[in-house]
Structure 1
Amino acid sequence: MFYTVKDVAEMLKIPESTVYEYVRNHVIPSFKMGKHVRIRKQDLDECIERLMK
């Protein structure tokens, strides 16, 4: 499953600009499909788990 930046922002209750910053700084692993940023569910789950420690 893949999420958009908007999906992640809504789930984490943070601004989309913050998600883009995390993506840019490689805090959240992501990839591009054309011009669109996508985040794998597994990568997001691992990122959240890593940051919660």
Structure 2
Amino acid sequence: MSDHNEHIPAPGEPSVPELELDETIAPRPEEEIADVLRAKPDLDDHSRDSE
């Protein structure tokens, strides 16, 4: 179920809004840290079973 009302664009208004609802909220610190960690590829071998 969606938590926002469906928007019907006015004449001349784009059908897709430029900002998503959550883009008005600053990212949490853990999201920024995760972005930094994902920027460097993880090349370690993770195929072994941990014991």
Same fold, TM exceeding 0.5? no
Q: Kindly indicate which of the two structures has a greater share of residues assigned to strand.
A: 1
Greater C-alpha Rg: 2
Which structure exhibits the higher relative contact order, with contacts defined as CA atoms closer than 8 Å and separated by 6 or more residues?
1
Q: Kindly indicate which of the two structures has a greater share of residues assigned to helix.
A: 1
